[in-house]
Amino acid sequence: MKAMNIAILGCGTVGGGVAQIVLELQESLKERASTSICLKKIVELEPAKASERFSIPLSYFCGNGSNLTPAEANQHIDDIIASSEIDLVIETIGGKSDFVHDLCLRVINSGKHLVTANKALLAERGKDIFEAAEKMNVKIGFEAAVCGSIPIIKTIKESFTGDKVLSVSGIMNGTSNYILTQMQGEKLEFDQALKLAQQNGYAEADPSLDINGGDARHKLLLLIKLAFGIDVVKDELPVIGIENITKEDIDFADEIDARIKLICYAKKINGDIYATVRPMLVKNSNFLSEVSGATNAVRVNNKYSGVQILIGKGAGSTETAMSIVSDIVFIARYGDKIQNLPVKKEYNFADAREFVFPYLITFHTGNVPGTTGFIATAIGSQQINIETVSHNRHAGEKAMFSVATMPCTLRQIENAIEAIKKERPEMLMSEPKIMPILY
Kindly tell me if the per-residue pLDDT of 343 is higher than 80: no
Please name the amino acid found at residue 246. T
Distance (Å) of CA 291 to CA 261, 296, 416: 9, 7, 34
pLDDT at 337: 83
Rg (CA), the chain: 24
Rounded mean pLDDT, 350-374: 94
**Is the domain 4-148+318-337 a CATH 3.40.50.720 member?**
yes
Catalytic residue among 41, 112, 157, 219: 219
Domains of the chain, by residue range, sit at 4-148+318-337, 152-312, 355-438
pLDDT in tens, 420-439: 999 999 999 999 999 999 99
pLDDT in tens, 159-183: 999 999 999 999 999 999 999 999 9
pLDDT band, residue 397 (cuts 50/70/90): confident
Q: pTM value?
A: 0.94
CA atoms within 13 A on the CB side of 145: 32
Kindly tell me if the per-residue pLDDT of 298 is higher than 90: yes
8 Å CB contact between 11 and 44: yes
Biggest alpha carbon distance in the chain?
Answer: 80
174-195 b/e (C-beta count within 10 Å ≥ 16 → b): bbbbbbbbbbbeeebebeebbe
pLDDT in tens, 128-147: 999 999 999 999 999 999 99
Q: What percent of the chain has pLDDT over 90?
A: 91
8 Å CB contact between 333 and 406: no
Asked about 139 being catalytic, the answer comes back as no
Kindly tell me if the per-residue pLDDT of 290 is higher than 80: yes
Kindly tell me if the per-residue pLDDT of 368 is higher than 90: no
pLDDT at 260: 98
pLDDT band, residue 410 (cuts 50/70/90): very high
Residues with Cβ < 8 Å from 118, sequence gap 6 or more?
Answer: 91, 94, 95, 96, 100, 104, 142, 145
231-268 b/e (C-beta count within 10 Å ≥ 16 → b): ebeeeebbbbbbbebeeebbebbeebebbbbbbbbbbb
Kindly tell me if the per-residue pLDDT of 1 is higher than 80: no
Please name the amino acid found at residue 370. G
pLDDT at 316: 85
Kindly tell me if the per-residue pLDDT of 384 is higher than 80: yes
pLDDT band, residue 274 (cuts 50/70/90): very high
pLDDT at 2: 87
Question: Is 152-312 in the same CATH topology as 4-148+318-337?
Answer: no
Residue 280, Cβ neighbours under 10 Å: how many?
27
pLDDT at 320: 94
- What is the rounded (10 degree) CA torsion for 408, 413, 415, 421? 160
Judged by phi (left if over 0) then psi (alpha if -120 to 50, else beta), residue 316 lies in left
Please name the amino acid found at residue 310. L
Kindly tell me if the per-residue pLDDT of 185 is higher than 80: yes
Whole-number Å distance between alpha carbons of 187 and 347: 43
For domain 355-438, which CATH number applies: 3.50.50.60, 3.30.465.10, 3.40.50.300, 3.30.70.260? 3.30.70.260
Kindly tell me if the per-residue pLDDT of 367 is higher than 90: no
Whole-number Å distance between alpha carbons of 362 and 268: 29
Kindly tell me if the per-residue pLDDT of 122 is higher than 80: yes
Nearest-CA neighbor of 238 among 206, 203, 273, 191?
273
Kindly tell me if the per-residue pLDDT of 342 is higher than 80: no
pLDDT in tens, 29-70: 999 999 999 999 999 999 999 999 999 999 999 998 899 999
Rounded mean pLDDT, 70-95: 97
pLDDT band, residue 305 (cuts 50/70/90): very high
Mean pLDDT of the chain: 95
Whole-number Å distance between alpha carbons of 274 and 349: 6
pLDDT in tens, 212-264: 999 999 999 999 999 999 999 899 999 999 999 999 999 999 999 999 999 99
Top CATH class, 152-312: alpha beta
8 Å CB contact between 392 and 372: yes
